[in-house]
C-alpha cells in the first residue's frame, strides 16, 4: 500500500499494477487486505462530521464498493464516548472526526476477512461473496462490566487455534512491569495488565496463559530453550512466525541456559545483523 493506493506484485516481486482504494463522501479508508484477485477488504479509518455507520468495506480493483459492513452499536457508542472525552486534545481540523479504525481490526483467514471490534464480543467473518457470519463469540463474563476487558491488536488464526491478546485491567491474573528505554536514555517502568490467550478451535477449550517468566508473556519455548514465543504472523501453510532482534537473543543467552544449537546461532550473530526469523511448524 502507498498512501491510499494498493500496489500489486506477484510472488516473485514483479510489479503488476496499482489502483486506488475507494473513499466515501464522509469517511476515509485505511488499511486494506487482499482476499482474492477481484476482492479486497478495508477498515473505514475515520468519519468526518457524522455518526459512524460502517466499519469495513469490500471492494474490487476497479474502484467499486461491493459491500459496506455496519458498525456494531456497542462499538459505535464506545468510539463516540471515548473520543468525546479526548476532544480537547485534538487539533481543530480533527475535532469533528470519529476514528472508527481505532476500535477495529481486520485480518485474512483463508479467503475471508475476519473483523474484530475491541469492545464487542463477536469476531465476524466476511466472505468474498459478501456473506456476513459470526465466526466466534467471546463470553467476557464478569470482566465485561464497565468494559474492563477488551481485545488488543489483531488476532492470529491457524487451522487449529486462535491466538489472542486481551487487556484485562483489574482482572489481570499476572500484572507485570514493562521497562522502556527512551531515546534520551531515560528508563521508564509501566504497569501492564494484558494477557495472551489460546482458543482451541477443535475442542472449544479457551485458556488465559501464564507467563513463562514474569514480565515475559508468550508460549514457553522448550525446544531450544529460547525466549517466550508468540506468532507475529501465520503463513498459508499454518507455520507460526516471529522475529527476535540480535539484542534480544544476546540478552537472553546471557541470563539463561540455552541449547547448544541455539547458542551456536546466537554466537554467530553480529551487532549489525538482521533480526532472526523463527518458524514453528
| Cα–Cα distance measured from residue 270 to residue 113, given in angstroms and rounded to the nearest whole number | 40
pLDDT score for 102: 75
For residue 5, the 8-state DSSP code is E
Residues 160-212: pLDDT tens digits?
999 999 999 999 999 999 888 888 989 999 999 999 999 999 999 999 999 99
- Average pLDDT, rounded, for the chain: 87
- Are 35 and 107 in contact by the 8 Å Cβ rule? The answer is no
Return phi, psi of residue 266, to 5°.
-65, -40
Q: How many CB atoms lie within 10 A of CB 25?
A: 6
Q: Alpha-carbon torsion 3, 274, 196, 251, what sign?
A: negative
Q: Determine if the peptide bond prior to 114 is cis (ω within 30°).
A: no
- List the one residue out of 126, 160, 151 whose CA is nearest residue 239: 160
Q: How many CB atoms lie within 10 A of CB 268?
A: 8
pLDDT score for 29: 85
pLDDT score for 280: 92
pLDDT score for 162: 97
Question: What cell numbers appear for 200 in the block?
Answer: 482451541
- List the one residue out of 143, 142, 141, 114 whose CA is nearest residue 43: 114
The alpha carbon of 118 is separated from its chain's Cα centroid by a whole number of angstroms, namely 10
Domain residue extents for the chain:
1-137, 144-215, 219-281
| Cα–Cα distance measured from residue 107 to residue 188, given in angstroms and rounded to the nearest whole number | 33
- For 148, residues 6+ apart whose C-beta sits below 8 A from its C-beta are 168, 169, 170, 171
Residues 11-38: pLDDT tens digits?
889 998 888 888 877 788 878 898 888 8
Residues 56-94: pLDDT tens digits?
989 988 878 899 988 776 666 666 666 665 666 666 666
pLDDT score for 2: 43
The alpha carbon of 273 is separated from its chain's Cα centroid by a whole number of angstroms, namely 27
- Are 80 and 68 in contact by the 8 Å Cβ rule? The answer is no
In the chain, what is the straight-line distance between the N-terminal and C-terminal CA atoms, in Å?
29
Amino acid at each position: 500500500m502507498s498512501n491510499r493506493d494498493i500496489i500489486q506484485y506477484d510472488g516473485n516481486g514483479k510489479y503488476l499494477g496499482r489502483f486506488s482504494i475507494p473513499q466515501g463522501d464522509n469517511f476515509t479508508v485505511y488499511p486494506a487486505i487482499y482476499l482474492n484477485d477481484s476482492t479486497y477488504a478495508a477498515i473505514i479509518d475515520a468519519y468526518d462530521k457524522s455518526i459512524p455507520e460502517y466499519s469495513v468495506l469490500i471492494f474490487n480493483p476497479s474502484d467499486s464498493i461491493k459491500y459496506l459492513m455496519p458498525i456494531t452499536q456497542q462499538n459505535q457508542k464506545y468510539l463516540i464516548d471515548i473520543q468525546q472525552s479526548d476532544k480537547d486534545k485534538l487539533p481543530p481540523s480533527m475535532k469533528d472526526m470519529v476514528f472508527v479504525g481505532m476500535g477495529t481490526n481486520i485480518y485474512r483467514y483463508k479467503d475471508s476477512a475476519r473483523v474484530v471490534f475491541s469492545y464487542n464480543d463477536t469476531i465476524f467473518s466476511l466472505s468474498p461473496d459478501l456473506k456476513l457470519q459470526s465466526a466466534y463469540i467471546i463470553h467476557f463474563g464478569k470482566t465485561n462490566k464497565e468494559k474492563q476487558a477488551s481485545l488488543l491488536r489483531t488476532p492470529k488464526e491457524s487451522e487449529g487455534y486462535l491466538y489472542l491478546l486481551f487487556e484485562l485491567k483489574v482482572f489481570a491474573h499476572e500484572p507485570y512491569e514493562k521497562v522502556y528505554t527512551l531515546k534520551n536514555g531515560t528508563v521508564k517502568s509501566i504497569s501492564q495488565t494484558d494477557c495472551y490467550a489460546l482458543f482451541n478451535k477443535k475442542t472449544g477449550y479457551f485458556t488465559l496463559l501464564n507467563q513463562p517468566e514474569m514480565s515475559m508473556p508468550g508460549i514457553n519455548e522448550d525446544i531450544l530453550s529460547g525466549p517466550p514465543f508468540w506468532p507475529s504472523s501465520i503463513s498459508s501453510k499454518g507455520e507460526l512466525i516471529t522475529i527476535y532482534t540480535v539484542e534480544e537473543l544476546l540478552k537472553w543467552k546471557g541470563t539463561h541456559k540455552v541449547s547448544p544449537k541455539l547458542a551456536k546461532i546466537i554466537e554467530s550473530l553480529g551487532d549489525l545483523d538482521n533480526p532472526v526469523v523463527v518458524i514453528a511448524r
